Amino acid sequence: MHGDDADLYRGSTRYLERRHRGGMNQEGADSALAQLNHREVEALFDHMENTQFWIKDAECRYLKINRAFQLNYSLARREDVLGLTDLDLSPPWLAEGFLKDDLRVFAGERIVNRIELVGGFDHAARWNRTTKIPVTNKAGRIGATAGITQPLPGVQSPGFPVPELAPALQALQKDPSSAWSNGKLAKMSGLSVSAFERQFRKHLQTSPMKFLKRLRLARAAAALIQTGESVSEIAAECGFSDQAHLSREFRKLFDVTPTEWRERHSAG
């Protein structure tokens, strides 16, 4: 250990020894926790790009989410999640399992590092590692639940639960910037154009081209936060004809320009 490092180590050790001998001031610690700035805690979770965080109330409705959660579900504003449950965000075959978990956690159970499928805006299901815990008040009563989930790296996910649409949806996921048409996607799925459009609306509640536009905007929203690329570069990579085209469509969905979106999310 170098001289400066050794001095620092010895000084830190003496400080910790004095703290230990004097005993922890629990009252002071509780006071500090009571004054904790919740916005600062939320900002900390925003720096966990691949980890979604949330808090739900006793009715399984979302109260708080972090940036990763917002991007995963392509929400224009975090407030948009208030009052929603998993049934509003995920297909029933996933949402029903999440709601059952909430009931178990409200009963006092903790779910720690469980491997499960988690969806997103794009209707893909990915293997994640999830932890969910009860949140208690000073009286010890459970009033909310909190959780985090993060994707498992290198684990192949099942993708889409609708076999006839899987080839088209996987192609859109892999390369949303290509010049796709209903005809190309229908052929890829082995369906007529009318049958493809009908199945798409049935399972995804939107048209193929509207879904593609939303997917491109979701990718652009994430890139504006997570990369330093220019707006024009992001527009090209996400399948928009130019920066003006991206800005026009972005404002329609998110109520702000791409530049305003980037500035808003870089403030933290």
> Which tens digits make up the pLDDT trace of 77-112?
999 999 999 999 988 878 888 999 999 999 999 999
Q: What pLDDT does 93 receive?
A: 78
Q: What pLDDT does 1 receive?
A: 52
The CATH classification of domain 166-266, taken from the options 1.10.600.10, 3.90.1640.10, 1.10.10.60, 1.25.40.340:
1.10.10.60
Residues near 236 by beta carbon (within 8 Å), at least 6 away in sequence: 177, 242
Burial environment of residue 111 by CB neighbours within 10 A (0 to 12, 13 to 18, 19 or more): middle
CA distance 51 to 218: 17
Q: What pLDDT does 47 receive?
A: 82
Domain 38-151, what fold?
Answer: Beta-Lactamase (3.30.450)
Q: What pLDDT does 73 receive?
A: 93
Residues near 82 by beta carbon (within 8 Å), at least 6 away in sequence: 61, 62, 63
Question: One-letter amino acid identity for 237?
Answer: E
Q: What pLDDT does 33 receive?
A: 47
Task: For the chain, list residues with pLDDT below 70.
Answer: 1-41, 157, 159, 161, 267-268
Burial environment of residue 78 by CB neighbours within 10 A (0 to 12, 13 to 18, 19 or more): middle
Q: What pLDDT does 35 receive?
A: 52
Query: How many CB atoms neighbour CB 128 within 10 A?
Result: 21
* Mean pLDDT taken over the chain: 85
Q: What pLDDT does 170 receive?
A: 86
CA distance 45 to 68: 9
| Domain residue ranges of the chain, discontinuous segments joined by + | 38-151, 166-266
Residues counted in the chain? 268
